Structure 1
């Protein structure tokens, strides 16, 4: 249910409405050079302006988005983008097109596009270097799960269609897909259903659904259910919720907190699909809300060696959804996936911004973007081997929120 909209609360997404944008390569046969910078930073400015900046280092320095950033057209661009190999990809809902962009001379330039009508993206998955699988919903009523496969070198839709997932039933009025994974020519897709409570409020089923399809035929094999938690994953163009470890085990986080599932009575948890298996591991469930964290969490980043960082809310510091994005209340925790234990809270300032792509793992360093009300906006460097933390690049000037950081080159 990818419904994030600027300056407003979407029907199914959280209220945090800040966005970013894309890059490009070839248009009408003319080669457009991809960006060769290493990192991209998406900024929401203090006056509501939005910027993308590219840099070769996050380790130190000072950047002003109003001086060196590419200013974005907020009517054309939002933060739900895919960044890969020097280009940015975005669904422009007004134009009903999936567009490829690049940064050039402090501007975001459209390189190529392809029509993509009645499509709302929830998740993306790279089938190979230049073939992108998008999954999401129809935009008319968000009740039909859809997919599209796009060749990104020339921006051609290879195939588009519906997935045989039951539409909402009974009291449920819509659906959301939360993660996609392909292994052994089988496509896994997590989803759940939602009930509309009012024009601006909804809740979620108590069930996580896991659908399995043959690939590339997209024929349904079966659908499994699990009631240990709900809202599996989330819009991974906004924040990551899943990963594979070194052994091929697949992990995903559920998000029943008020900013996504709005089923706060259920725990945030981590599920696992073991390597070589096609069902959920019924013996594995990392209950985040029952740990020392005792809160809900959004976003997970794998460090390697069975360890990951999660970003957890502090429910004692915010009043509700209305101030969830603007109040600094998020904490970062190091967890051990094999033992199901919380190892420690990282000694970082309280962070603000409900859902963000705010961590990049590179070698032995985790770069963590923190929006601190008291200490400013910094990229912090966490040494995975030693546990040491230090400040890196500072984003200042017109910076209000660092909404996402991305590796430009994969």
Structure 2
């Protein structure tokens, strides 16, 4: 009578157990790696110099830590210069000529589409429709050749691309910045400026604002307007917004002559307007912010009812550009666009030069403030009453809250 080999039986069972564990692990990993569809998105730079992306359904309470509640990002292929819409993240890796579309899962940032876009750096974007994205930018080598790409974000393909009929820098000016784009019916407005390189923070800007008006969709140039009331119209809006359209269809944009942008500190930060029924800058409107707060501002968020928020530096609290971003010196101010007055919002001093840090919805502004380790909060600002209270806390490795976005 044959007897069963106990060693063989044990070996067989161990192999079977190992196979089952592998299968179970694979199923668990697949189950956990689900697309996350929460209402808000938060982009963090940690004290560990790592970057994280979090999502949450509430900004009003609780504690979030990037290393526990977020996913770690590969900063070699993605950065905070993102476009966030409808649960998708769009990012251009200009070094590799790759425009990617991502979704956040519970474990990673997952690429769901990729387009080849050569020799291009995004300066501004504009949503022509819910699924049509217009990208405007410059060549990578000289930053002086304006280009555009129109993208269908559902099929994720390029509809059309080409050059933009804007003048190139001349004389002492070597490069260009495109500070805003705005489409209104059959017109496209593009604000831009020119730069020259020097020893102080690499470059400074022209003391003239340029605004081109193009026919749309032909993209033929009809007019270039010049204005010397301030310098550097707008800014890179994948990092921070600088313009909006109000309830009446009037378009507003802010200039950025401060050392973090135009590096023309003797020029005032100001707000310009193009009326809804006009195609030229309103020569009767210029909101000189610097003359009131005696500082420069970066970032403009519209609250409704002719009210807006700007984020301004305090030149008495930093030394120069080298410590501007790391010093707690930024204040938030409420602007009355009609009466051209300002009021400081009673928030702690913030740090970080340029951030997408305000979300406005249903009479509330959610404002992200970095006020020191374990004191990073998204504050809840009641627009009507002006009252403030702390919302969700960003703890753990949180150093900078680079951006907060509404996903859906």
Q: Output the TM-score relative to the length of structure 2.
A: 0.91
User: Could you say which residue in structure 2 is the equivalent of 1:376?
Assistant: 375
In the alignment, the residues of structure 2 paired with residue 75 and residue 34 of structure 1 have an alpha-carbon distance, to the nearest angstrom, of: 22
In the alignment, the residues of structure 2 paired with residue 400 and residue 348 of structure 1 have an alpha-carbon distance, to the nearest angstrom, of: 18
Give the SS at the match of 1:51.
Answer: strand
1:292-332 CA distance string (max 9 Å, x none): x1100000110001000111100000001100100010000
Q: CA deviation at 1:181?
A: 0.4
Q: What does residue range 4-15 of structure 1 map to in structure 2 within 5 Å?
A: none
Q: CA deviation at 1:200?
A: 5.3
User: Could you say which residue in structure 2 is the equivalent of 1:240?
Assistant: 241
Q: Is the 8 A contact 2:177 2:193 kept in 1?
A: yes
User: Could you say which residue in structure 2 is the equivalent of 1:18?
Assistant: none
Q: CA deviation at 1:373?
A: 2.4
Q: What does residue range 51-130 of structure 1 map to in structure 2 within 5 Å?
A: 51-130=52-131
Give the SS at the match of 2:335.
Answer: strand
Q: Is the 8 A contact 2:374 2:396 kept in 1?
A: no
User: Could you say which residue in structure 2 is the equivalent of 1:9?
Assistant: none
> Are 1:272 and 2:273 counterparts?
yes
Q: What does residue range 162-241 of structure 1 map to in structure 2 within 5 Å?
A: 162-198=163-199, 201-241=202-242
User: Could you say which residue in structure 1 is the equivalent of 2:324?
Assistant: 324
Bigger share in helix:
2
1:163-222 CA distance string (max 9 Å, x none): 111111000010000000000210000000000114951111000000000111111111
Give the SS at the match of 1:193.
Answer: strand
Q: CA deviation at 1:106?
A: 2.5
Give the SS at the match of 1:228.
Answer: coil
Give the SS at the match of 1:290.
Answer: helix
> Are 1:284 and 2:285 counterparts?
yes
Q: Is the 8 A contact 1:206 1:229 kept in 2?
A: yes
> Are 1:259 and 2:260 counterparts?
yes
In the alignment, the residues of structure 2 paired with residue 167 and residue 219 of structure 1 have an alpha-carbon distance, to the nearest angstrom, of: 16
In the alignment, the residues of structure 2 paired with residue 96 and residue 390 of structure 1 have an alpha-carbon distance, to the nearest angstrom, of: 44
Structure number with higher relative contact order (C-alpha < 8 Å, ≥ 6 residues apart): 1
Q: What does residue range 376-395 of structure 1 map to in structure 2 within 5 Å?
A: 376-395=375-394
User: Could you say which residue in structure 2 is the equivalent of 1:22?
Assistant: none
Q: CA deviation at 1:97?
A: 1.1
> Are 1:48 and 2:49 counterparts?
yes
Q: Is the 8 A contact 2:307 2:334 kept in 1?
A: yes
> Are 1:339 and 2:339 counterparts?
yes
Give the SS at the match of 1:191.
Answer: strand
Give the SS at the match of 1:112.
Answer: strand
> Are 1:309 and 2:338 counterparts?
no
100 and 222 in structure 1: CA distance in 2 versus 1, 3 angstrom threshold: same
- Consecutive unaligned residues in structure 1, runs of 5 or more: 1-31
In the alignment, the residues of structure 1 paired with residue 217 and residue 175 of structure 2 have an alpha-carbon distance, to the nearest angstrom, of: 26
In the alignment, the residues of structure 2 paired with residue 128 and residue 152 of structure 1 have an alpha-carbon distance, to the nearest angstrom, of: 10
- Consecutive unaligned residues in structure 2, runs of 5 or more: 1-32
Q: Is the 8 A contact 1:299 1:311 kept in 2?
A: yes
Give the SS at the match of 2:257.
Answer: coil
Give the SS at the match of 1:80.
Answer: coil
Deviation larger for 282-291 or 33-42: 33-42
User: Could you say which residue in structure 2 is the equivalent of 1:400?
Assistant: 399
In the alignment, the residues of structure 1 paired with residue 303 and residue 88 of structure 2 have an alpha-carbon distance, to the nearest angstrom, of: 25
Q: CA deviation at 1:36?
A: 2.4
Q: CA deviation at 1:376?
A: 1.3
Question: Highest CA radius of gyration, 1 or 2?
Answer: 2
In the alignment, the residues of structure 1 paired with residue 98 and residue 376 of structure 2 have an alpha-carbon distance, to the nearest angstrom, of: 34
Q: Is the 8 A contact 2:201 2:263 kept in 1?
A: no
RMSD: 1.3
User: Could you say which residue in structure 2 is the equivalent of 1:299?
Assistant: 299
Q: CA deviation at 1:375?
A: 6.5
Q: Is the 8 A contact 1:378 1:394 kept in 2?
A: yes
Q: CA deviation at 1:33?
A: 8.5
Give the SS at the match of 1:159.
Answer: strand
User: Could you say which residue in structure 1 is the equivalent of 2:136?
Assistant: 135
Deviation larger for 356-365 or 197-206: 197-206
